[in-house]
Amino acid sequence: MLIEIWADVVCGWAHIGKKRMEKALAAWQGEPVTVVWRPFQRDPMAPAHAEPLERTLSDPIAEDALRACTPPGLSNADNRARVAEEAAAEGLGPQWGAEWRPNTLEAHRLIALAYEQGGAELQDRVVERVLNAHFVEVRDIGDPSVLAGIAEEAGLAAAARFDAPAPRPGAELVRELLLTGKAKGVRTSPTIVANGLALEGAQPPEVIREFLEDASRHTPRRLPAEVERLRHAESLLDQRDPLGALTLLRPLMDEHGDDRGVRLLAARAYFGSAQLNRARAALESLVAESPDDSYARHLLGRTLQRQGRHEEAAVHLAMAAAMTPDYTP
């Protein structure tokens, strides 16, 4: 069974959750499991160069970002006090606690590469090292030199290439994974996903074991990878992230560019991101192939409207409304 842990490495609950997952699995007697760490960013606007966390705590915008790692019902201040107590109870050390606000994209890139290069076991060691660097050693894990040292210890220096210009290996993979997590509905760190079920937060080991038992009995419908990617892109569109949707659609457009569903979803994403010429070209092709597709015709009319081509738009909007009265203005 595949267990995905979607988490940010600057979230204290993720460090605690890792220890609790290890305790849960130590007593696990079910089917073999593989634990994979997936990226989540609670603070995507963190600066490229880390700043002292104390300064962050006085910034209302940054303070709001911390809520992605705060359990419901707790203020950020209460959460910080509670997470420190829980960390001590888990044996993470009396000096546990972060002092930096780093951007975690590069740390996530290293963690993703660790899985690609050496599987779950190597990734677990890298995650542990990154978490310890941030919370125990109080180092800046946004600093490439800190991460390069961890990569060197793990035998990943050549793969991670921290001395190379951007974009570095694994950067696109991390971007896609972040979008996939968003499409799946991951909203907090950590979130455990197994067999289509999700468990939010750093739950006690016995709760994690019960969750895994439920997941092991759950048999979700397995979809082809292309269909799953298409659904994730559609989810991002529903969440008003058309550029994210286009990122996930790009491989499908390259490999299945003739598929009508892919083309229509891409046209919607072009429209949503105001790439109106691309939207119009895609929709004109779809309408020419299927003149009775009222939705494609309606969207083409709206695209032409936004381009100021009102006479052309009126024809398509009227035809769409005649076929589907719900499209009547």
Domain boundary among the residues 172, 199, 217 is at 217
Residue 151: the pLDDT is 96
pTM: 0.91
Pair 13, 84 in one domain = yes
The low-confidence residues of the chain, meaning pLDDT below 70, are 58, 60-68
Give dist(CA 123, CA 39) in Å, integer.
12
Please spell the DSSP secondary structure of 35-82, one letter per residue: EEEEE--S-TT--SS-EEHHHHTT-HHHHHHGGGGS-TT--HHHHHHH
Pair 253, 209 in one domain = no
Contacting residues for 80 by C-beta, under 8 A, at least 6 apart: 12
Q: What are phi and psi for residue 44, nearest 5 degrees?
A: -65, -15
Would you say 144 and 162 are in contact if contact means Cβ atoms under 8 Å apart? yes
Pair 297, 201 in one domain = no
Domain boundary among the residues 198, 217, 236 is at 217
Residue 67: the pLDDT is 67
Pair 279, 184 in one domain = no
Overall number of domains in the chain: 2
Q: How many residues does the chain have?
A: 329
Tally Cβ neighbours within 10 Å of residue 198.
16
- List C-alpha distances in Å: 229 to 23, 40, 238, 247, 318: 33, 18, 14, 10, 34
> Tokens 């204290």 correspond to what residue?
12
Pair 166, 198 in one domain = yes
The token pair at 257 is 């560019």
Residue 90: the pLDDT is 92
Pair 27, 112 in one domain = yes
CA angle (112 as vertex; 107, 114 as ends), nearest 5: 95
The token pair at 253 is 């457009």
Residue 66: the pLDDT is 65
Pair 144, 192 in one domain = yes
Q: Is 101 helix (H, G, I), strand (E, B) or coil?
A: strand
For the chain, first and last CA: distance in Å? 50
Domain residues for 82?
Answer: 2-217
Residue 62: the pLDDT is 63
Query: CATH number, domain at 72?
Result: 3.40.30.10
Pair 203, 312 in one domain = no
Residue 79: the pLDDT is 78
Would you say 201 and 71 are in contact if contact means Cβ atoms under 8 Å apart? yes
Give dist(CA 113, CA 39) in Å, integer.
12
Residue 82: the pLDDT is 86
Would you say 282 and 269 are in contact if contact means Cβ atoms under 8 Å apart? no
Give dist(CA 129, CA 127) in Å, integer.
5
Q: What is the pLDDT of residues 211-249, one digit of tens each?
A: 999 999 998 888 899 999 999 999 999 999 999 999 999
Pair 89, 29 in one domain = yes
Pair 172, 149 in one domain = yes
Give dist(CA 13, CA 88) in Å, integer.
12
Pair 201, 240 in one domain = no
Residue 9: the pLDDT is 97
Edge-to-edge, what's the strand order for the sheet holding 2-7? 34-39, 2-7, 191-194, 197-200
Query: CATH number, domain at 274?
Result: 1.25.40.10
**CA neighbor of 17 nearest in space, from 188, 244, 230, 218:** 188
- ω into 190 cis (within 30 of 0): yes
Pair 309, 267 in one domain = yes
Domain boundary among the residues 191, 217, 243 is at 217
Residue 95: the pLDDT is 78
